[in-house]
Structure 1
Amino acid sequence: MATRIPASIASTLKTCEERGVLLARADVADARPLSRLAVAGLLVSPHPGLYARSDLWRELTPDARNLCVAKTLAALHPAWVFSHQTAALFYGLSVSYSCLGKVHYTTPCRAGGQDKGYTCHHQAKAAEWRMIDGVRVSSSERMLYDCLRSLPFADALVIADGALREGVSTREKLERYLGWHAGGRGIRYVRQVLESADGRAESGAESIARATVISLGVPIYDLQLVVADLERPGKTYRLDIVLRRSDDTLVDLEVDGRQKYELLNGPDGAVTAMMAERQREAAITAHGILVARIAAADAGNRPVMERKLRAYGVIP
């Protein structure tokens, strides 16, 4: 059983890591030790013929892993056009981790949509693509069209919000593109997602929370509403998702992520962050606005969201 990675393979691995790709079986003269190293747990093979150090692979987030495999496959298959949510990653968009089990690519060949290991192949007679970092990637509008018609509503909204927020596309360009594909599969669903998309959403968790609220039939009053701190002139706060009760009382639905409380400033960082949140909440409630908080992990949990909104009177 191998106890360490041979120097020659370690050197090749280091070169690949610096390039942000995996080691391909063809990168080494003798590939037989690679499988032994994988069995020993020193290497991991996320896709047939591709390898990475196990410790480094464990440290990568699902989006970083997806991009790493895609960039490696792009070097091996330069004619492939990476599409769907994999293309969204190349555009720098947030993608729900649950949607990143496969690397998606498109070619003119048949057998579209078939899963092969870590990849999912789609067929298109004439792929629409552009180059990003030397890799063929679906055009922004095609990427959005593919993602929005194939993903669940919340996950599609994450990508649509991000595309509008980051300027990857505009609502006008998307509407024009959809006009060219009138009658296409899933076009009605794509329009429903686009109708709810809003570039003001600041994170994927906020997009998922909003999707859950919409699924409950609750209208969105506003996003990122700015309110002033009545005790500190010039100080303002932005509210995540603003809802309105039947008595016209506004409710600020705040999506709490871990970053609000991480120890960023030494041992007192968490305390400082919590005190700042308390001060912020007091400033918001001074305007007669209720503050409801939900954890990012529960943003897509419909029963939890329903109980939360019912407790605050948003749902009777």
Structure 2
Amino acid sequence: MKAYPQIDRLLDQSEQAQCCAYSTDPLIHKGLYRRHLAGELAKPYPGLYSRCEYWNRLNGAEQSLHMARALTKKHPNWVFAGLTAAAAYGFEHQWFLHHEITITLPTHGSYRPHDKLHVIYSPYPKHDVVTVNGIPSTNKARTLVDCGNTQGFRGALPIFDSAAKDGLNEEALLKECSLTTRDCSNIIKLLRHTNAASENGGESFARGTMIESGFAEPRLQVMITDPATGQQYRVDFLWHTDDGRIIVCEFDGTAKYVDPEMTGNRSIQETVQLERNREQGLRRAGVTEIVRLTFNDVLQIKPMVAKLRRAGVPTVS
């Protein structure tokens, strides 16, 4: 393919700026499109391009931010909202939720969105626009309200938990909710279950799925002491049942066995032995059931429900 040094420079500059390549020059645009057809460039959004190798290294949130930064140049009056704004603020959430870019507009007018763009039609004053991570966004309260109304309970709970660690202002949130003229019941439910003690977005997603599935809300990050050794163990989720049993649930991932940062460079065999010692210590401390959940268990819901029911986790009516 014919070389265009200016296209390579544009791609280099875009990667350095952590955004997609975009050009109003017809020749450059045509050259980008030809490279896309040749399989060299990804085209995640109409008119936006990125080298495939670079693009595929990004997670869903990073890809959304790359697109939003480029779209800010193309549409300087756009205000990003919902999950796109949540990514800009760094609120924890599941990356697979990023299917589209979200903006807010006051009215439908003659504008028509497409499958890569989600528009929340609701008035938003210009003086409340916050530029965060290089992206004009709705403020934190409005971002949470939009996410709470669009991502479902288990999808939004990690965002609310993350915001709680950052100093969630419930009064501002409820005020913002009332200004949108939308039903606030989803937001009130999320606030009722928001917990800054959640260690990460995966655990928040799991807890949200448990609550949606009718299980009692667990206690989080509880310290349990092995009476034989004095060793303390922190468990992800814990329930006390009416008949005196103690049920613990651990949200596991393969990373705890293979990621050097999580294993302390121990071998898999050493890590497995430590997990076995941990389980024995928990049982000596009175834990009667230990449930291990994977992310896929939670994502698919039914495997999670089956495991928790077998363990006798309490439910709510």
Contact 2:7 2:28 in 1 (8 A): no
Q: 1:71 aligns with which of 69, 72, 97?
A: 69
Cα distance, 1:158 vs. partner?
1.7
Q: Which residue of 2 aligns with 1:269?
A: 267
Q: Which residue of 2 aligns with 1:204?
A: 201
Q: Which residue of 1 aligns with 2:302?
A: 303
Cα distance, 1:28 vs. partner?
7.9
Q: Which residue of 1 aligns with 2:148?
A: 148
Question: Which SS does the other structure have where 2:76 is aligned?
Answer: coil
Distance across 2 between alignment mates of 1:84 and 1:147: 5
Q: Which residue of 2 aligns with 1:164?
A: 164
Q: Which residue of 1 aligns with 2:232?
A: 236
Question: CA, structure 1 residues 41+193, in 2 after alignment: closer, same or farther (shift >3 Å)?
Answer: same
Query: Residue 213 in 1 paired to residue 207 in 2?
Result: no
| Structure 2: gaps (5+ residues) | none
Aligned ranges 1:41-120 → 2 under 5 Å = 41-110=39-108, 115-120=113-118
Q: Which residue of 1 aligns with 2:131?
A: 131
Cα distance, 1:139 vs. partner?
0.5
| Structure 1: gaps (5+ residues) | none
Question: CA, structure 1 residues 82+269, in 2 after alignment: closer, same or farther (shift >3 Å)?
Answer: farther
Q: 2:191 aligns with which of 186, 194, 198?
A: 194
Contact 1:83 1:106 in 2 (8 A): yes
Question: Which SS does the other structure have where 1:95 is aligned?
Answer: coil
Contact 2:79 2:138 in 1 (8 A): yes
- What letter corresponds to residue 17 of structure 1 in structure 2? E
After superposition, what is the alpha-carbon deviation per residue over 1:17-44, rounded to whole angstroms, capped at 9, x for unaligned? Answer: 0110111032685332221111110011
- What letter corresponds to residue 21 of structure 1 in structure 2? C
Moved more, 88-97 or 268-277: 268-277
Distance across 2 between alignment mates of 1:272 and 1:281: 14
Distance across 1 between alignment mates of 2:286 and 2:110: 54
Q: What RMSD over aligned residues (CA atoms) do the two structures have, in Å?
A: 2.6
Cα distance, 1:269 vs. partner?
3.5
> Where in structure 1 do 4 or more consecutive aligned residues deviate above 6 Å?
none
Query: What is the TM-score with the length of structure 1 in the denominator?
Result: 0.88
Contact 2:142 2:173 in 1 (8 A): no
Distance across 2 between alignment mates of 1:187 and 1:100: 24
Q: 1:7 aligns with which of 1, 5, 29?
A: 5
Cα distance, 1:189 vs. partner?
1.9
Question: CA, structure 1 residues 266+226, in 2 after alignment: closer, same or farther (shift >3 Å)?
Answer: closer
Question: CA, structure 1 residues 112+129, in 2 after alignment: closer, same or farther (shift >3 Å)?
Answer: farther
Contact 1:47 1:117 in 2 (8 A): no
Contact 1:12 1:27 in 2 (8 A): no
- What letter corresponds to residue 208 of structure 1 in structure 2? F
Q: 2:243 aligns with which of 244, 247, 263?
A: 247
Query: Residue 222 in 1 paired to residue 198 in 2?
Result: no
Question: CA, structure 1 residues 263+146, in 2 after alignment: closer, same or farther (shift >3 Å)?
Answer: closer
Query: What is the TM-score with the length of structure 2 in the denominator?
Result: 0.88
- What letter corresponds to residue 250 of structure 2 in structure 1? E
Cα distance, 1:288 vs. partner?
1.0
Q: Which residue of 1 aligns with 2:292?
A: 293
Cα distance, 1:48 vs. partner?
1.4
Contact 1:165 1:201 in 2 (8 A): no
Question: Which SS does the other structure have where 2:24 is aligned?
Answer: helix
Contact 2:61 2:87 in 1 (8 A): yes
Distance across 2 between alignment mates of 1:173 and 1:263: 40
Contact 2:41 2:50 in 1 (8 A): yes
Distance across 2 between alignment mates of 1:215 and 1:175: 22
Distance across 1 between alignment mates of 2:147 and 2:114: 20
- What letter corresponds to residue 306 of structure 1 in structure 2? V
Distance across 1 between alignment mates of 2:110 and 2:224: 50
Question: Which SS does the other structure have where 1:261 is aligned?
Answer: helix
Number of positions where the alignment pairs a residue of Structure 1 with one of Structure 2 = 310
Contact 1:244 1:251 in 2 (8 A): yes
After superposition, what is the alpha-carbon deviation per residue over 1:191-230, rounded to whole angstroms, capped at 9, x for unaligned? Answer: 1122112111112221222122212322124111111243
